[in-house]
């Protein structure tokens, strides 16, 4: 049976404010889905909620991995169950070397039953694998000695996220604007790498505002999210349309969601204006 | 010292000590002077700026005395693991137990051993420095007590131009309930080089998981022109020990000092750590790693004093606090009028691992020269939940994430410590300590 990640009627609030208002989405392993939508429509929220971020409150709905609800699982249990979220804004962990971080992460994800304190995967084996993956991504091996995301450029952070994806080999990966901040060559390389790493083997949910990433990873499905709801689902042609023409038509066709989206974003503005 | 029975910290005790010690006249005078100060001064209290956050009302001096040690075994320490040492000194309850120095260094005039013994043998080396400029016996009542009663300690003297490549290890052990008033004197002559790994710890007690005692120490270090000293001071005393100390280093022209402090133990510590840069081109780097738990209280008062131009002082303390523990750091960079082109930096970061831990962090600058660059900063906070979430999203349990983040927090200090065994010892101590975190 193909692994399936299913999101059913998902409602999410943050600090009492609704952000997602009934999201439905099913991803099978091996499929590529694009998730598009204007700023503030809830794309990152969806990714973070699937990963298990504690600040978001799920008020209704379910997230099922092969039929099993994962909402009660902690983020690390979800990671071990095969879910990966590449952060739109990765977090720096000062003083922790990327290689050490990844060795521990890889060990845990590959042996979901591992108890705290048990052996990590052997250093030599790990190093060899890391080196190989880094060379595929054309990353300097010295990069692994730097502290996780600490002082990384925007592009370096995104490449480090792809490296982690390559090492952890999840069943499902949500890539949140993994193409932003990359220069033209890096985007091409990243796109190819993601296709190689993910492609057939993973279920991919690609969140993007650009079309480059999707060129190498043509989505079978394109979803448009607006005001916390998926308002349209189509094929690759929908992604192409949004790239060239923007969201005007979608907004016109879904005035209610469009208004909710704008209202969401407005809340922030008075605060911004004050400072 | 062989006949040391029991010396109380009072007039009778002082007289008994003076009778007992075979010491030169000048040293007797020093002690008498210190005793005068002790008698005149009162115990510090919360009205003193330095003591307002540090409550010592539960400390009772008459519960302690200098007593010949009863234990036969002592810990081996942690700093020298795997290190090719040039010498070793172990002191247990004020009595030297092991004293070694590689012949190659002894032949070149290096002195390393118990200060009490060497002070009579080498007065010419010691007298010009001992408690003259680098120790203020009138600083407070503990300083006076120390200067009057000090009865053990270590001397390191490295003559002109001798570069000791092998580190030295000085271990001080204290058994439950005993007192130690040891004095450390380090003298590096022009162009000399040395590394001294010093640690103090309690002898494990079968009946007391938090061995007690009283440690009232003094450290003086004189780094001559162009000399380089790396000094490590790891304090891992039992959690019942009261610790008080005045520690000071003076760095002369083009000399350098790297001073690494690890503070893990004691019930309460009140330490003054001073570095004074007195010759152009002198530099100092102070690194501090603190990790407190239970009801521990560590109070550090640091001074980076620039009296000469073109000097650099760099200071970084990092502390992690668990349970109900508390740290106080008051730091000062003081630049004298003539000390132009001073480059001074001080930073203190505190990581609170529980809601009831508390860190007071008070940086300060006092600058009387106009062409200087001095920066300072301090932070105190909980472990950032976003870091924990990011790690968990990559498969770390909450506990593993916290352990890693705390270790990473200290890494910035470790990156500055150039001695591997010290990094490792501190790293081990830290990872042992990180426990539950909510
Ligand atoms: N932690 C948070 N605290 C407060 N508001 C939040 C938080 N996270 C998200 N929001 C709000 O939820 C809404 C959706 O945000 P989200 O980050 O999911 O948007 P997005 O679709 O990813 O946008 P973008 O394309 O700009 O990345 C926004 O209005 C945002 O301000
Ligand atoms: Mg986003």
What pLDDT sits at residue B290? Answer: 97
What pLDDT sits at residue A124? Answer: 95
Interchain proximity A76–B412, CB inside 8 Å: no
Given a cut of 60, is residue B181 above it in pLDDT? yes
What pLDDT sits at residue A275? Answer: 38
What pLDDT sits at residue B41? Answer: 97
pLDDT digits (tens, 9 = 90+) for B288-311: 999 999 999 999 999 999 999 999
What pLDDT sits at residue B91? Answer: 94
Q: Report long-range pairs for B6-9 (Cβ below 8 Å, ≥24 apart).
A: B6/B65, B6/B66, B6/B67, B7/B65, B7/B66, B7/B67, B7/B149, B7/B151, B8/B62, B8/B65, B9/B61, B9/B62, B9/B64, B9/B65, B9/B66, B9/B145, B9/B149, B9/B179
Closest-CA residue, ligand 1 atom 8, reads A45
Percent of chain B with pLDDT over 70: 97
What pLDDT sits at residue B404? Answer: 93
Given a cut of 80, is residue B68 above it in pLDDT? no
Closest-CA residue, ligand 1 atom 17, reads A44
Give the ligand at the shortest distance from the Cα of A37. Answer: 1
CA dist A233 and A34 (Å) reads: 10
Q: If you average pLDDT over residues A62-66, what whole number do you get?
A: 97
Task: List, in order, residues 6 or more apart from B47 with CB less than 8 Å away.
Answer: none
Task: List, in order, residues 6 or more apart from B82 with CB less than 8 Å away.
Answer: B420, B421
**Residue among A79, A92, A147 minimizing CB distance to B393:** A79
- Is residue B436 exposed (0-12), middle (13-18) or buried (19+ Cβ within 10 Å)? exposed
Contact yes or no for B323/B352 (Cβ under 8 A) = no
pLDDT band at A268 (very low <50, low <70, confident <90, very high): low
Rounded to 5 degrees, what are φ and ψ at A222?
Answer: -120, 130
Count Cβ atoms below 10 Å from residue B94 Cβ, excluding itself.
Answer: 25
Residues of chain A whose beta carbon is less than 8 angstroms from a beta carbon of chain B are 51-54, 74-76, 78-80, 84-85, 87, 90-96, 100-102, 104-106, 108-109, 116, 147, 164, 168
Q: Is residue A228 within 6 Å of ligand 1 at its C-beta?
A: no
Give the ligand at the shortest distance from the Cα of A43. Answer: 1
Given a cut of 90, is residue B329 above it in pLDDT? yes
Q: If you average pLDDT over residues A146-161, what whole number do you get?
A: 94
CA dist B54 and B296 (Å) reads: 11
pLDDT digits (tens, 9 = 90+) for B107-145: 999 999 999 999 999 999 999 999 999 999 999 999 999
pLDDT digits (tens, 9 = 90+) for B235-281: 999 999 999 999 999 999 999 999 999 999 999 999 999 999 999 99
Residues in B touching A101 (Cβ below 8 Å): 391, 394, 404
**Residue among B389, B412, B415 minimizing CB distance to A54:** B389
pLDDT band at A263 (very low <50, low <70, confident <90, very high): confident
What pLDDT sits at residue B154? Answer: 97
Q: If you average pLDDT over residues A18-28, what whole number do you get?
A: 96
Closest-CA residue, ligand 1 atom 13, reads A40
Closest-CA residue, ligand 1 atom 26, reads A39
What pLDDT sits at residue B211? Answer: 93
Pairing of strands B297-306, B326-335: parallel
To test the pocket of ligand 1, the residue of A15, A17, A23, A44 to mutate (highest count of ligand atoms within 8 Å of its CB) is A44
CA B394 to chain A, closest CA, distance in angstroms equals 6
pLDDT digits (tens, 9 = 90+) for A217-234: 889 999 999 999 999 999
Q: If you average pLDDT over residues A126-152, what whole number do you get?
A: 95
pTM for this structure?
A: 0.90
CA dist B101 and B82 (Å) reads: 17
Ligand 1 centroid from CA B351, angstroms: 29
What pLDDT sits at residue B61? Answer: 97
Q: If you average pLDDT over residues A118-146, what whole number do you get?
A: 94
CA dist B268 and B237 (Å) reads: 10
**Residue among A78, A100, A116 minimizing CB distance to B397:** A116
What pLDDT sits at residue B4? Answer: 56
Taking the CA of residue A225 as reference, the ligand 1 atom at the shortest distance is 21
pLDDT band at B1 (very low <50, low <70, confident <90, very high): very low
ipTM: 0.95
Of A145, A112, A150, A153, nearest to A127 by C-alpha is A145
pLDDT band at A196 (very low <50, low <70, confident <90, very high): confident
Q: Report long-range pairs for A178-181 (Cβ below 8 Å, ≥24 apart).
A: A178/A86, A178/A206, A178/A208, A178/A213, A179/A208, A179/A210, A179/A212, A179/A213, A180/A88, A180/A154, A180/A208, A180/A209, A180/A210, A181/A153, A181/A154, A181/A155, A181/A157
- Is residue A34 exposed (0-12), middle (13-18) or buried (19+ Cβ within 10 Å)? buried
Q: Is residue A88 within 6 Å of ligand 1 at its C-beta?
A: yes
Q: Is residue A42 within 6 Å of ligand 1 at its C-beta?
A: yes
What pLDDT sits at residue A274? Answer: 42
- Which domains can be identified in chain A, with CATH numbers? 4-90+171-266 (3.40.50.300)
What pLDDT sits at residue B438? Answer: 52
Task: Report chain A's mean pLDDT, rounded to a whole number.
Answer: 92
Task: Report chain B's mean pLDDT, rounded to a whole number.
Answer: 94
Q: Is residue A45 within 6 Å of ligand 1 at its C-beta?
A: yes
Q: If you average pLDDT over residues B222-234, what whole number do you get?
A: 97
**Residue among B405, B410, B415 minimizing CB distance to A93:** B405
Of A15, A2, A4, nearest to A264 by C-alpha is A15
Ligand 2 centroid from CA A176, angstroms: 7
Given a cut of 80, is residue B69 above it in pLDDT? no
To test the pocket of ligand 1, the residue of A45, A51, A87 to mutate (highest count of ligand atoms within 8 Å of its CB) is A45
**Which chain A residue is nearest to residue B432, measuring alpha carbons?**
A117
CA dist B267 and B424 (Å) reads: 24
CA dist B383 and B353 (Å) reads: 7
Q: If you average pLDDT over residues B381-385, what whole number do you get?
A: 95
What pLDDT sits at residue A273? Answer: 45
**Which chain A residue is nearest to residue B406, measuring alpha carbons?**
A95
**Residue among A74, A101, A116 minimizing CB distance to B392:** A74
Pairing of strands B65-67, B6-8: antiparallel
What pLDDT sits at residue A52? Answer: 98
**Which chain B residue is nearest to residue A169, measuring alpha carbons?**
B394
**Which chain B residue is nearest to residue A107, measuring alpha carbons?**
B395
Higher pLDDT, A211 or B53: B53
Pairing of strands B87-92, B95-101: antiparallel
Pairing of strands B358-362, B326-335: parallel
**Which chain B residue is nearest to residue A88, measuring alpha carbons?**
B390
pLDDT band at B436 (very low <50, low <70, confident <90, very high): low
Contact yes or no for A208/A34 (Cβ under 8 A) = yes
SS3 sequence, chain B?
CCCCCEEECCHHHHHHHHHHCCCCHHHHHHHHHHHHHHHHCCCCCCCCHHHCCCCCCCCCHHHCEEECCCCCCCCCCCCCCCCCCCEEEEEECCEEEEEEECHHHHHCCCEEEEHHHHHHHCHHHHCCCCCCCCCCCCCCHHHHHHHHHCCEEEEEEECCCCECCCCEEEEEEECCCCEECEEEEEEECCCCEEEEEEEEEECCCCCCCCCEEEEEEEEEEEECCCCEEEEEEEEECCCEEEEEEEEEEEECCCCEEEEEEEECCCCEEEEEEEEEECCCCCEEEEEEEEEECCCCEEEEEEEEEECCCCCEEEEEEEEEECCCCEEEEEEEEEECCCCCCCEEEEEEEEEECCCCCEEEEECCEEECCCCCEEEEEEEEEECCHHHHHHHHHCCCCHHHHHHHHHHHHHHHHHCCCCCHHHHHHHHHHHHHHCCCCC
């Amino acid at each position: 049976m193909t692994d399936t990640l299913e999101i059913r009627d998902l409602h999410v609030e943050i600090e009492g404010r609704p952000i997602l208002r009934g999201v439905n989405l099913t991803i099978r392993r091996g499929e590529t889905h694009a998730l598009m939508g204007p700023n503030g429509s809830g794309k990152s929220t969806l990714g973070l909620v699937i990963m298990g971020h504690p600040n978001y409150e799920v008020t209704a709905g379910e997230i099922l991995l092969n039929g099993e609800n994962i909402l009660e699982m902690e983020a690390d249990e979800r990671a071990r169950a095969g879910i990966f979220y590449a952060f739109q804004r990765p977090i720096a962990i000062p003083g922790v070397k990327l290689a050490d971080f990844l060795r521990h992460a890889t060990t845990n994800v590959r042996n979901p039953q591992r108890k705290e304190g048990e052996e990590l995967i052997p250093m030599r084996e790990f190093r060899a694998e890391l080196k190989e993956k880094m060379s595929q991504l054309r990353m300097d091996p010295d990069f692994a000695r730097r502290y996780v995301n600490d002082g990384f450029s925007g592009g370096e952070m995104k490449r480090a996220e792809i490296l982690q994806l390559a090492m952890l080999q999840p069943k499902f990966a949500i890539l949140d604007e993994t193409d932003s901040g990359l220069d033209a060559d890096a985007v091409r390389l990243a796109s190819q790498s993601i296709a190689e790493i993910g492609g057939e083997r993973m279920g991919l949910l690609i969140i993007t505002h650009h079309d480059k990433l999707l060129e190498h990873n043509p989505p079978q499905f394109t979803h448009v999210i607006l005001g916390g709801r998926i308002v349209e689902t189509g094929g690759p042609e929908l992604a192409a349309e949004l790239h060239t023409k923007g969201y005007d038509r979608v907004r016109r066709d879904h005035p209610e969601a469009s208004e909710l989206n704008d209202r969401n974003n407005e809340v922030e503005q008075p605060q911004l204006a004050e400072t | 010292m062989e006949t040391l029975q029991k010396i109380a910290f009072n007039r009778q005790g002082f007289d008994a000590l003076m009778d007992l010690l075979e010491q030169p006249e000048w040293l007797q005078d020093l002690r008498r002077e210190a005793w005068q100060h002790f008698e005149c001064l009162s115990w510090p209290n919360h009205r003193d700026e330095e003591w307002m956050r540090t409550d010592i009302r539960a400390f009772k001096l008459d519960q302690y005395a200098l007593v010949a040690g009863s234990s036969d075994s002592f810990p081996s320490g942690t700093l020298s693991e795997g290190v090719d040492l040039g010498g070793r000194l172990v002191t247990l309850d004020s009595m030297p137990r092991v004293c070694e120095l590689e012949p190659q260094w002894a032949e070149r005039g290096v002195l390393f051993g118990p200060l009490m013994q060497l002070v009579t043998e080498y007065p010419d080396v010691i007298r010009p420095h001992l408690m003259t400029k680098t120790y203020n016996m009138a600083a407070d009542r503990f300083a006076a007590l120390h200067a009057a009663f000090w009865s053990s300690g270590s001397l390191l003297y490295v003559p002109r131009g001798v570069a000791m490549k092998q580190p030295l290890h000085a271990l001080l052990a204290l058994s439950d309930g005993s007192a130690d008033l040891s004095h450390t004197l380090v003298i590096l002559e022009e162009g000399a080089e040395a590394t001294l790994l010093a640690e103090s710890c309690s002898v494990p007690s079968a009946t007391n998981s938090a061995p007690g005692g009283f440690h009232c120490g003094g450290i003086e270090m004189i780094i001559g022109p162009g000399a380089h000293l790396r000094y490590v001071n790891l304090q891992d005393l039992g959690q019942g020990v009261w610790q008080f100390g005045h520690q000071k280093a003076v760095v002369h022209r083009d000399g350098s000092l790297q001073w690494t402090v690890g503070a893990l133990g004691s019930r309460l510590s009140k330490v003054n750590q001073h570095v004074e840069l007195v010759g152009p081109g002198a530099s100092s780097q102070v690194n501090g790693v603190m990790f407190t738990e239970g009801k521990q209280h560590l109070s550090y008062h640091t001074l980076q004093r620039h009296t000469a131009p073109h000097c650099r002082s760099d200071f970084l303390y990092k502390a992690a606090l668990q349970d109900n523990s508390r740290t106080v750091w008051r730091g000062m960079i003081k630049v004298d009028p003539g000390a132009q082109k001073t480059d001074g930096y001080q930073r203190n970061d505190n990581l609170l691992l529980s809601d009831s831990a508390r860190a007071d962090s008070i940086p300060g600058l006092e600058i009387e020269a106009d062409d200087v660059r001095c920066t300072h900063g301090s932070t105190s906070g909980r472990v950032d939940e976003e870091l924990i979430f990011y790690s968990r999203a990559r498969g770390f349990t909450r506990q593993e994430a916290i352990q890693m983040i705390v270790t990473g927090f200290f890494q910035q200090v470790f990156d500055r410590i150039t001695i591997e065994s010290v990094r490792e010892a501190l790293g081990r101590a830290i990872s042992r300590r990180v426990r539950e975190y909510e």
